[in-house]
Every structure is written in C-alpha cells, then in structure tokens.
Amino acid sequence: MNEPRKVVMSAEWVRQYAQSIDAPLTQVNGKYIAPPTMILLFWQFFDTWKQEDRVLLHVKQTYHYVCPITSDMTLDCTLTLQKQRKVGSDEYKVYLLTCFYQHEVIATAKTTLMIQGE
C-alpha cells in the first residue's frame, strides 16, 4: 500500500476541480493553487482502501500543508494504513496520505473510514 503514485497537477485539472466545488481560483506566478480539499481526489490512484460489497463511510478528514499544491507540480504520494479497530461489527481504519514534491513532504491528509459490518 505504501507504493508511491505519481500525481500530475495539470492547470486544467485544478481549474475544473475548483469550478466543480465553486471555489475561487487563485494564481501565483502563473500557476493555479489547488483548493485544499483537492487532495481527496488523490485516493483514486490507490486501490487497497476499497472494500468490495461493503458500505464505506467517510468519518473524518484532517489536512496539513507545508506549502500550497499548485498546477504543474508532479507529486509522489503514498497511502498508509495507520490504525484499524473494530467497534461491534463495524471496522474503523485510519489512513495517512502523504504528498512529496522534490523529495520533501508538502501535504498530508489523515482520513478515518468506517466499514459497516454485515
């Protein structure tokens, strides 16, 4: 699960995402700044968190940014299962998505998912 995935931040992708959530589109030095929640989309590059035929609920999300993610960046991202526990028939999993730019951590997103029991 810790295998890095490349995430290419195109100007068009950042622009489309900002428009889809009705967020302001900010530019710095000719590059778009990705809305803070865009990091959620990076999960699509990982398969291991998916639970077939089970209800999956997003419980909590926290973000930490060292610097903004901008268009024209190519990020290396990892998704790590940090903790899991059972509460009754439900299972809770805490994942950490870590984004690197030029070998430095620039953003993390910690997510708690609940997988409903049978």
pLDDT, one tens digit per residue, over 17-36 is: 999 999 999 999 999 999 99
Mark out the alpha helices in the chain (DSSP H runs): 11-20
Share of residues in the chain with pLDDT > 90 (%): 78
Q: Which residues neighbour 102 within 8 Å (Cβ) at sequence distance 6 or greater?
A: none
φ/ψ of residue 54, rounded to 5: -130, 145
Which amino acid belongs to residue 112? T
Position 57 confidence tier, pLDDT thresholds 50, 70, 90: confident
What's the CA gap between 84 and 45, in Å, rounded? 21
The pLDDT mean for the chain works out to 92
Please write the tens of the pLDDT for every residue from 80-100.
Answer: 999 999 999 999 999 999 999
Max intra-chain CA distance, the chain: 52
pLDDT score of 53: 74
The domains found in the chain, sorted by start residue, are 5-115 (3.10.129.10)
pLDDT score of 52: 64
Which amino acid belongs to residue 58? H
